Each structure stands twice: as C-alpha cells, then as structure tokens.
Amino acid sequence: MPGVKQLAGREEMMAPGHRACAGCLPMTAIRQILLTAGKDTVCGCATGCVEVVTSIYPYTAWRTPFIHNAFENSAATISGAEAAYQSLRRQGKVDKDIKFIAFGGDGGTYDIGLQSLSGAMERGHNMLYVCYDNEAYMNTGIQRSGGTPKGTATSTTPVGKVRPGKQEYAKALTDIMIAHNIPYVGQATAGYPKDLSDKVEKALTIEGPAFMNVLAPCTRGWRYPMEESMEIARLAVDTCFWPLYEVENGVFRVTRKPKEKKPVAEWLKKQGRFRHLFKEENKHIIDDIQSQVDENWDWLLKREEMTRSEAS
Amino acid sequence: MRQIDPDVVAAFPITPQTELMHKFAEHVADGDVKSEFVLVESEHSAMSASVGAAAAGARAMTATSANGLALMWEIVYIAASCRLPIVMPVINRALSGPINIHCDHSDTMGCRDSGWIQLYSESAQEVYDNILQAIRIAEHPDVLLPAMVTFDGFIISHTAEVLDALEDGEAREWVGTWTPNYSLLNTDDPVTYGPLDLQDYYFEHKRQQIEGMNHAPRVIKEIGEAYGKLSGRSYGLIEAYRTDDAERIIVALGSTCGTSKVVVDELRDEGEAVGLLKIRAFRPFDEEAVAAALSGAKAVGILDRSVSFGAPGGPVHKEVKSALYGGGKTPPVVDFIYGLGGRDINREHIRGVFEELKPVADAGRTPDQNIRYVGLRG
C-alpha cells in the first residue's frame, strides 16, 4: 500500500482549475482516489457536482479517460467500457492493464442509479464503484436524497412548523452492497486519506466488482466554514456516525476504532443543517440519531468478530 | 449478428425482441462469436452499456422493442450526441398503454428526432441486408451516428422466411474492422466523453450532428449500391414500386409494403394505374425523392401505423405532406391509420385504400375527411 509521501510524489490525475467550491471534499476524495489508481484508469461519473465542476466544455479536469453519460447509469456505462476492454483484450487489440472506476453522488447511487449499480455488481464486472456521499442532491440545490440523515434540513425537507427536517433515516447503502456478496466493499472518507487510499488500492487489486461508500462533506449543503471540511469528515468517524471498515469476501474489518467514541451531537452541532435539532423540542431527534449510531456500531463490531472467527 | 461478431452485445429480454437474443445467446454459448455478451438488468442499462462500450472503441450492438425502447429513450439521444455508431435492431411493437405485445410503429416513431438513422425493413431478407448495411452507414466517417434497423414484431420477427445470406467470409469482409478516432482505452491520450456543454457550445455541437445526418442520404445510397454489387440486392432511401405512371399511390413502411406490392400487381393486372412508395429510410427522410415519386399522382394514400395525438395525421403523413409542399404539383393526400396494436392488415384492406382514393383522384383535391382508419370496428 502506498504511503502518503509516495502518493504526494505521484502525477496528479485531477487537474487544478476545476470549478468545485473551496473546501469540496468530494473533489478531494476523487483526487486521492486517482492518485492511488494512476493513469491507466478509465473513469465514469454520474451527472452531479463532480461531473459538472470537472467537465465544462471545452475544458476537462480529467487526465484519465473519462465518460459522463447520464444521472442513473454511471455503473452501467463503465460496465460497458469494461466489457469492451475484456473483448478487445481477448482479441489482442489492447494489451495494457486498465482499471475501471465509476463515480456517483449519493443521489445517483442511493436513489436513481441503484438499479444500474446493483446490475453491474451482480454481473461481476472488474470495476470499482465509488459513491461520493455528501448526503443530499447538492448540485441541484441541496434536496434530500436516500442518503440524507434523519433530522437534516434540506431544501425539500425544510424545517417548518410541523416538520423539523428529514423524517427518515438514511438508507443503509453499504449494507445493501454487502448483501450483493461482491469480493470487496469498503466504507471510507476523504477525511482519512491513508485509509481511503489503502481501500482503493485493495478494491482495484481484487478481481471482480468492488464498491466503496466515501463520506464527502459539502461545505455549502452542510452549512459549515469551508476550512472545516477535513475536521468534520473525521468527526463523523470519531463519533462512529460513519465507521471506517471493509468487507473482503465476507470478512468484516473495522479499519479505525476511535479511542474515545465521541457523542454524535459533537458532529451535528458543527453543521448548520442540524442547527434546529438543538432546540429543546427537537432534542429527542438527537437521542434517536445517537441510539441508531450506537446500535449500528455495536452490530458492526459484532459482525467483525463473527466473520473473523469464522474465517480463521 | 453472428456474422458481424460485434465486440460487445448488451441485452435485456423483451417480447418480441427475445427470439433474436435467444439465437445470439446460442452463438455465444457455442463460441461462434467473440462478443462480450452483457446481460443487463434493463434496457436503460443496455443502451448505457452500449454507450460505454462504443466510447471504449468497441463495435457495440443491442436490440429492443416498444417499452424497452421507451426506457432507453434518454440514452438513445446521448448515444447520438456522442456520435457513437451503435447499431440496434428494433422489433416494432405498440407502446403501452394499454399493454399490447404486437406490432405497430409507435415505439420507433417516438424517437424519430433522436439523431438515429432509421431503416425500416419489409421482410426478413431486408432485416438481414439492412443490419449489414447499417454497420457501414453508422461507422462512415462522414456520418458517425447510431442506426436502428426496424422490423415488424411477430410479422417478421416470429415467422419463417427463406433468406439469402452472404458467406461468412464475405459478410466479415463487408463489415470490416472498426477503429474509432477516440477510445476510452487509450490512456496515453485521454479523452473526455459527455462533458457539460452549456449555451456557449451546445448549439454548435448540435449543428455538427445535423451535418452528420445531412451526409447520411448520400452514404446510404453509396452503401446500398455497393451492397447490391456484393449481394445482388441494391437499396436506396425509398423504393418506388410501379409508380412511374401511377395515378393512385400509397406510401408505407415495413412489412405492409410486401402485402401492398401484391395488391399493386393484382390491380395492375386489372388495368388500374396504381403504385407503392416504400419508405426505407425514415431518418434521414429523402424529401426530394419522395416528392418526385408522388408529384405525378392524382391521389396519395399514406399508411400510418402509429398516431401523433393532436397532430394533423400520423408521422408518415406529416412528413410526406411536408415533402410535397412547394414542389409545384401537390396531389391530394389522405392518411390511413391502420394496424395499431397488431391489428391485421390484409390484401382486402389495401384494395379498400386504393378504392377510397378513387373519388379523391377524381375530385382532384384533399377531401374534408382526410384522416381515415383501416380495419377499425364500429
């Protein structure tokens, strides 16, 4: 696994001058992922922030081959490119090792693109799908997605007189992908770059389909000062709201266990989108979120223990 | 498709397209083709994967029908705007609702403005011939647009016909190899496909795409002639069947043209001056040739196997009428909507159409009731 120093010495595959907001962690994540993947990588991206800020014609920030098709079909598009590679390689028309990565935001992955993702994983293409999860449809104006946490204020789940933000918990996408029984599933964040890079390296080395869910805070949508992106991403991990773990052929491994598990309120209070939760009448929502975080974390540790002992 | 041996074929089952993919799957299973066969979870993904494969430099094919085509619709446009020469047989079927599995042209007419070339086929022979030609047309450097070869669901897709096929070697040589200018797999010279294209460039890119389509009539003719030299069966954009001295002419697409030719022959034997104009290429539409073939007629009947709700007639009717406008002599035109949802059209029906055109020809003007229905009860 390459170290951070090694990665820093590699050729940047994401050109500077793209139009992402300052403090955009999705772009930081993609930069880190491409440093790990290297130039012989075909990338695809669903319609969304990343596609919009990196590919405004006649400019492109992609130094790897890149394709954007539509909102819901990043996985299907890259599975077609990968199929072409398999075919042309078999015919001796291509002789180099090429990797395939499909990107999608949480809207393009949890929601409209879930079918295409599920199909591509089930078919066993040798590709990595990365969901850059900024927990809402940021590109279209911060609307709730299936990945938006309970209690969040978004433009379609605003805080009103009778509804204090989003009513539902986020969909357990990583678990859904684990249930596909693919060789590799990882959960990471741009806030812990070494962990992210190690997982990408593994996902691209393992033969077959791999999925990674990467928490990527959005300064605009989450309502925090842009210089706090990394800190907020790390706090999501340290509160166990976003555990870092991987599942390799069914065996769970938690890659970061916080020495001191911080209360989730510490993560929530840093973000304007949760401000209303700290009013007296909404505090029970924070308790709900905390109890779900605790439950998920305990279940994760249990699964790690169970699958590891089975595997050994 | 076995003879073409595409690099990638993506497929999702939908009636009446299923037979085609079953046969192709057998060829894959027997190792007759080298194709990567991607069994996708929807038509949307079939077209998406075809776009990914074609952008990666592969010769990519898929097939669909009806609602499957409707589900692909968004990506059908994207394939054309990326200038990817994907070839797709579409087995024509009525669009829901209500659901109906039989033939009409509502599915392909629904994407007539998508930037795809559309070749309609009269018989199984033409399906075969058209697919082999479509590969060359789509990949032609002056065109670079995807092409759909349509044929009537069940009428052609599920019936047995004698077929003249090229030898495998001949067919392979005819389609040749495909080397695109840009490929995602060329990591030394990376390209970006499908960028965000705003108001400062989008219009120019559409104009370039129009230019590709503008070249298509010439290319379709050239390839149709070259194919004729190879197979003995030449093709143009339209086929004028006994129209030269015809007073009444009907215009049709697809399998109905076969039935119509029989009726034209019968009526000719009976001394009536009738003819058929078959539209093979609906996109691009050869306005000039259509006007030239029809301008001498005293009455024209259009056979439309789909509806354009709220419009003055079906899609074929509108195109033909617009082709005739401004061409000097404009014969009266009557639209005949027929065959929706697989309703049978037989020789008697077509005779009836010619019969209904008689008083129109005599009157010399388009009648008040110029949209009529064939084979409709009540």
DSSP symbols for B359-374? HHHHHTS--S--EEEE
Per-residue pLDDT, averaged over B211-220, amounts to 98
B7 touching A (Cβ < 8 Å):
yes
pLDDT of residue A3: 85
Tell me the pLDDT tens digit for each residue of B11-64. Answer: 999 999 988 999 999 999 999 999 999 999 999 999 999 999 999 999 999 999
Give the distance from residue A24's alpha carbon to the nearest chain B alpha carbon, in angstroms. 19
B284, two tokens: 């691009």
- B56 and A81 within 8 Å at the Cβ level: the answer is yes
- B58 and A84 within 8 Å at the Cβ level: the answer is yes
pLDDT of residue B2: 94
- A79 and B185 within 8 Å at the Cβ level: the answer is no
pLDDT of residue A8: 86
Hey, which residues does B118 pair with through a beta bridge? B148, B283
Per-residue pLDDT, averaged over B75-100, amounts to 98
pLDDT of residue A2: 82
Is residue B327 predicted with pLDDT exceeding 80? no
* C-alpha span between A10 and A63 (Å, rounded): 13
* For residue B16, cis peptide bond before it (omega within 30 degrees of 0): yes
- A60 and B192 within 8 Å at the Cβ level: the answer is yes
- A116 and B39 within 8 Å at the Cβ level: the answer is no
Tell me the pLDDT tens digit for each residue of A253-272. Answer: 999 999 999 999 999 999 99
Per-residue pLDDT, averaged over B84-112, amounts to 97
Query: Locate tokens 């797999």: which residue?
Result: B185
- Chain center to CA of B256: 14
Give the distance from residue A45's alpha carbon to the nearest chain B alpha carbon, in angstroms. 10
Tell me the pLDDT tens digit for each residue of B154-209. Answer: 999 999 999 999 999 999 999 999 999 999 999 999 999 999 999 999 999 999 99
Is residue B328 predicted with pLDDT exceeding 80? no
CA distance from start to end of chain A = 23
State the DSSP H helix or E strand holding residue B10, giving kind and residue range, or none if neither.
Answer: strand B8-11
* C-alpha span between B216 and B137 (Å, rounded): 7
B36 touching A (Cβ < 8 Å):
yes
DSSP for residue B347:
H
Give the distance from residue A48's alpha carbon to the nearest chain B alpha carbon, in angstroms. 10
- Residue B377 identity: R
- The mean pLDDT of chain A is 97
Parallel, antiparallel or unpaired: strands B274-279 and B238-241:
antiparallel
**What share of chain A in percent tops pLDDT 70?**
100
Is residue A312 predicted with pLDDT exceeding 80? no
Please tell me which of the candidates A65, A87, A119 has its beta carbon nearest to residue B184: A65
pLDDT band at A4 (very low <50, low <70, confident <90, very high): confident
Is residue B329 predicted with pLDDT exceeding 90? no
Centre a 10 Å sphere on the Cβ of residue A311 and count the other Cβ atoms it contains.
11
CA-nearest residue to A57 within chain B is B197
Report the greatest alpha carbon distance in chain B.
Answer: 70
Please tell me which of the candidates A68, A70, A91 has its beta carbon nearest to residue B34: A91
Residues of A with Cβ-Cβ distance to B74 under 8 angstroms: 70
Is residue A311 predicted with pLDDT exceeding 90? no
B34 touching A (Cβ < 8 Å):
yes
- A115 and B41 within 8 Å at the Cβ level: the answer is yes
- A64 and B44 within 8 Å at the Cβ level: the answer is no
| Chain B contact probe: residue of A50, A73, A74 with most B CBs at under 10 A | A73
pLDDT of residue B341: 98
Residues of B with Cβ-Cβ distance to A120 under 8 angstroms: 45
- B57 and A77 within 8 Å at the Cβ level: the answer is no
State the DSSP H helix or E strand holding residue B277, giving kind and residue range, or none if neither.
Answer: strand B274-279
* C-alpha span between A164 and B151 (Å, rounded): 56
pLDDT of residue A119: 98
Please tell me which of the candidates A44, A84, A118 has its beta carbon nearest to residue B7: A84
Please tell me which of the candidates B35, B78, B187 has its beta carbon nearest to residue A87: B35
- B44 and A56 within 8 Å at the Cβ level: the answer is no
Per-residue pLDDT, averaged over B222-228, amounts to 98
Centre a 10 Å sphere on the Cβ of residue A11 and count the other Cβ atoms it contains.
9
Is residue A310 predicted with pLDDT exceeding 80? no
**ipTM for this model:** 0.97
Residues of B with Cβ-Cβ distance to A72 under 8 angstroms: 44
Please tell me which of the candidates B54, B75, B190 has its beta carbon nearest to residue A65: B190
pLDDT of residue A1: 81
What size, in residues, is chain B? Answer: 378
Long-range CB contacts (within 8 A, 24+) of A171-178: A171/A110, A171/A146, A171/A147, A173/A106, A173/A109, A173/A110, A173/A131, A173/A133, A173/A146, A173/A147, A173/A213, A174/A211, A174/A213, A176/A114, A176/A118, A177/A117, A177/A121, A177/A211, A177/A213, A178/A247
* C-alpha span between B335 and B322 (Å, rounded): 13
| Chain A contact probe: residue of B4, B7, B61, B191 with most A CBs at under 10 A | B7
B50 touching A (Cβ < 8 Å):
yes
- Chain center to CA of A142: 17
- B56 and A52 within 8 Å at the Cβ level: the answer is no
pLDDT of residue B321: 95
Residues of A with Cβ-Cβ distance to B194 under 8 angstroms: 55, 67-69
Tell me the pLDDT tens digit for each residue of A189-222. Answer: 999 999 999 999 999 999 999 999 999 999 999 9
Inter-residue contact A118 to A59 (CB < 8 Å): no
Closest CA to B360 of B349, B376, B372: B372
B30 touching A (Cβ < 8 Å):
no
B62 touching A (Cβ < 8 Å):
no
* pTM of this prediction exceeds 0.90: yes
B75 touching A (Cβ < 8 Å):
yes
pLDDT of residue A273: 98
Give the distance from residue B97's alpha carbon to the nearest chain A alpha carbon, in angstroms. 24
pLDDT of residue B204: 98
Give the distance from residue B85's alpha carbon to the nearest chain A alpha carbon, in angstroms. 14
Question: What is the CB-side half-sphere exposure of residue B57 using CA atoms within 13 A?
Answer: 22
- The mean pLDDT of chain B is 97
Please tell me which of the candidates B58, B187, B196 has its beta carbon nearest to residue A40: B187
Per-residue pLDDT, averaged over B292-301, amounts to 96
* For residue A149, cis peptide bond before it (omega within 30 degrees of 0): no
Please tell me which of the candidates A58, A63, A83 has its beta carbon nearest to residue B53: A83
CA-nearest residue to B56 within chain A is A81
3-state secondary structure chain A: CCCHHHHHHCCCCECCCCCCCCCCHHHHHHHHHHHHHCCCEEEEECCCHHHHHHCECCCCCECCCEEECCCCCHHHHHHHHHHHHHHHHHCCCCCCCCEEEEEEEHHHHHHCCHHHHHHHHHHCCCCEEEEEECCCECCCCCECCCCCCCCCCCCCCCECCCCECCCCCCCCHHHHHHCCCCCEEEEEECCCHHHHHHHHHHHHHCCCCEEEEEECCCHHHHCCCHHHHHHHHHHHHHCCCCCCEEEECCEEEECCCCCCCCCHHHHHCCCHHHHHHHCHHHHHHHHHHHHHHHHHHHHHHHHHHHHHHHHC
Please tell me which of the candidates A65, A69, A88 has its beta carbon nearest to residue B7: A88
Query: Locate tokens 């194919």: which residue?
Result: B227
